[in-house]
Chain A
């Protein structure tokens, strides 16, 4: 049966699937129960699985995560929603001090099979605090996994993998492309491996490493440089941490050139990390300096300015040309 759906629907399908299969999967957060979440990612879960397994919490992010820690210790698999990534910071203490550390400090006695989902990223003309991409904050913390899908197919396969993972996963959903396009995806369940990047498009002139909503913008840019006979290889990181270094290192060894495209601020970022890895692992293969095309090191502007902030396909195409012609 055809199952042509967008990313929010894919997230919903993954949750449905896992709640159906595993009674210990419990979904909760702010407005996630009756209403099905502000983006409708958890819609119909309460109707289908009851108020005990899909419920609304009081408005308190720290307790949503902290309660999840206790539930995971006591045999459940909480999948919690932070309504927006920008609202996840009250839970930062729980995530850094407990979620990431419980397995290590208990020497494996208490593991936390929990998922913290959050819509993230800009480009939806949103209010303040609704547009940032702070994946690097979470990727910096040992003990966490950070996963970002870029398509409906990936969202379903990666979220199912995250829920089944024995370790805590921060699952960041690029809300700009929640409803941007539909994709024919399998109705039954499937798993995509966490910790494995995907070569979206093969090429030989330059390697572009990106993730989330930027994957599509990179694809557009690559179309633009085609006429100049430039054939980039596109890698979708899919998992930010633990990072699949081998895939992009091998690619850069082949192409000799690397561009990282991200909407997060440039400095101290995932892109910075990728360049460090390339320096360590592919130095002698480099034909040009590995480069970051990123958000500015500024506060994410309100909607009247956001078009300047995120790298556009045109800007990406120009940067590709510059690196190839270095």
Chain B
């Protein structure tokens, strides 16, 4: 089990990580999610021993790893650019870690053969890694990281270098392979779709702090603050102020919401999810009903995305059918589907 405690790290004199603590159990896949520059890669590098924290500790099964050299940690790390050794063949790349930990030639050959089979690249053993496509390189890099059977596998934006179509395909493959490996896995990404697809647990990193931790469902249904909702693209965020235990005042008017737990008088963001919007006649007699002018209606496949203007505020909602531009309709959200989130 990996445990990091109160990790602090400065970069160029500015604090990058401000006391990060979390654990990863064996067989658990944790996604570290954050925007670029949030320090998620640095967190991985500290766990791998490639960088020193300013303070804080890294433990594996209660053994302090903080000052252990990288090469003695027995962790696996897959780089975003894969870092496949260009002077070595596919098989030699996969064998590298096995040679370093002193496995016998016979064992190495056997493991490499199986690894190549598992990624369906047995014919590629002697190829130069520079001849491989992006997807092939990705698979070899993962096989190389897994070959020495690491205690912990870390992946730094493993799909970041691939184009969109290949990404979707590799994501499915990756999900299966990572879950089959039954390892403790930390997966770093800025892409919420990847995170939701893969993670047992999400860690959201923002401004040097872990702002939320939980299963994808929890994070999706109960974001802890407005940044999380905005970063995950959960819906419209309307600035407001708490005026009563269940009332919030916004530019769109006053709303009755289920209790937010926020102090009366504090600023907040009201989250209005587009898929929860109730439209037209059904909304007409609801308490939080808004008059909205349709500015645009965009076909999205399973639904239409409506851009609507309420007063001075532009919102977007999902609709099962298109509505003509320029017309005015009623829109409402139920009390329980609206959430008041702290600004930060």
**Does A associate with B in a complex?**
no
Chain B residues within 8 Å of A, Cβ to Cβ: none
